[in-house]
Amino acid sequence: MQKIVAIGTLIVALSACVPAKKYNELVERERICSQELEGYKSSALTNEGKAKELEARYEQLKKDVSQLKKDTLQMGTDYRFLQAQYDLVVADNEANERKIDQLRLSGAKETAGYQADIEAKNLELQRKESALKSLESELGTKQRLLEEREARVNELEEAMQRKDDAIKQLKTKVSNALKGFENKGLTVVEKNGKIYVSLEAKLLFASGSTVVETEGKRALVDLAKVLENEKDMEIVVEGHTDTDKLVSASHPKSNWELSVLRATSVVEIMTTNSKMNPAQLMAAGRSEFHPVDPKDKAKNRRIEIIISPNLNELFQLIGQ
């Protein structure tokens, strides 16, 4: 910290020698970075909301399928009960017809009574046949709807599994590519379907600087080479600082500005030294407000590169 104060004092002393044009360029750069930061914050919140919406809609779809299965099972039971009643009516009708044949000679009056009974039974039979056909049609519709829902759930689960498998495979590639930096302040972790590559500031920057040093640049270029073919991934580069306040007359003047400029420097190195699509990356500053260990300032001064799958395919499946 004393070193930063000394540097800041030196910069103040030399500020009279800095051309006005250079100073104006630094001010303009600060303004542009601030605007980009606000845009990136908004985009990050939108993506997080989309992910939560996707999870909620997926759970609701599974509940709908479960309820549909219960409805189909109950309709199957009703169908079998009505079929049994129908069979009883048919049997009763056949018995009555045999009685008519046996009693036809016993008298027209008795025969007429049985005939009326047969007609009533026939009407009841027709009513039950109509109800049975209606239930069969409804059962068929429910069955088709259940099959369609199950197919959508299966398709969604397969797509989610593909995303998980892709993340696991990419995590292995990233770990292998950065193996030489494991004991130099770099870690690779898979969590909640995302890959977190954390680089301590000592690997990348001098104290208070936004310029990436040689060894840190080598690690970033190695990572970018792995990611340049991952077209379905979204990458957020976050800058983090400790709680020590900056004392400087020039830029960066605050931990917010330092975290944003460091994240921007990392993005520029990754995009200019690989074939990565710049549209896949976003630089953001988190200042001092997301420490990994409040008692360890060195760990809190870091760059986190968060790699997550593009969720557009899953949203399309949910929206069908």
pLDDT in tens, 196-227: 999 999 999 998 899 999 999 999 999 999 99
On whether residue 35 sits in a domain, the answer given is no
Lowest mean pLDDT among 20-24, 226-230, 290-294, 304-308: 20-24
On whether residue 235 sits in a domain, the answer given is yes
Q: 308 forms bridges with which residues in the sheet?
A: 234
- What are the CA-CA distances from residue 228 to residues 193, 223, 274, 300, 304 (Å)? 20, 9, 7, 28, 18
**Strand-pair category, 281-285 with 302-309:** unpaired
Domain-terminating residue out of 166, 189, 208:
166
Give the predicted TM-score (pTM) of the model: 0.57
On whether residue 41 sits in a domain, the answer given is no
The number of folded domains in the chain is 2
Name the DSSP letter for residue 297: H
| Same structural domain, 112 and 174 | no
| Same structural domain, 121 and 244 | no
| Same structural domain, 89 and 199 | no
Mean pLDDT over residues 74-87, rounded?
85
pLDDT at 9: 46
On whether residue 104 sits in a domain, the answer given is yes
pLDDT > 60? residue 7: no
- pLDDT band at residue 59 under the 50/70/90 scheme: confident
The CATH number of residue 259's host domain is: 3.30.1330.60
- pLDDT band at residue 68 under the 50/70/90 scheme: confident
Distance CA 124, CA 89 (A): 8
| Higher pLDDT pick, 15 / 111 | 111
| Same structural domain, 218 and 242 | yes
Distance CA 125, CA 48 (A): 60
pLDDT at 195: 92
Range of the domain at 153: 61-166
Lowest mean pLDDT among 43-47, 62-66, 113-117: 43-47
| Higher pLDDT pick, 260 / 111 | 260
On whether residue 34 sits in a domain, the answer given is no
| Same structural domain, 178 and 103 | no
- What are the CA-CA distances from residue 74 to residues 42, 88, 146, 242 (Å)? 48, 22, 14, 62
| Higher pLDDT pick, 214 / 47 | 214
pLDDT at 130: 84
| Same structural domain, 202 and 307 | yes
When the pLDDT of each residue in the chain is averaged and rounded to a whole number, the result is 82
| Same structural domain, 139 and 221 | no
Distance CA 114, CA 2 (A): 114
Distance CA 165, CA 56 (A): 22
pLDDT at 157: 78
87-129 tens-digit pLDDT: 888 888 888 888 877 777 776 666 677 788 888 888 888 888 8
| Same structural domain, 186 and 299 | yes
| Same structural domain, 160 and 301 | no
Mean pLDDT over residues 66-70, rounded?
82
167-194 tens-digit pLDDT: 888 888 888 888 888 788 899 999 888 9
Mean pLDDT over residues 227-256, rounded?
88
On whether residue 143 sits in a domain, the answer given is yes
Lowest mean pLDDT among 95-99, 135-139, 150-154, 236-240: 150-154
- Cβ-based burial of 133 (10 A; exposed 0-12, middle 13-18, buried ≥19): exposed
pLDDT at 11: 41
- Residue 232: strand, helix, or coil: coil
Domain-terminating residue out of 166, 181, 209:
166
pLDDT > 70? residue 8: no
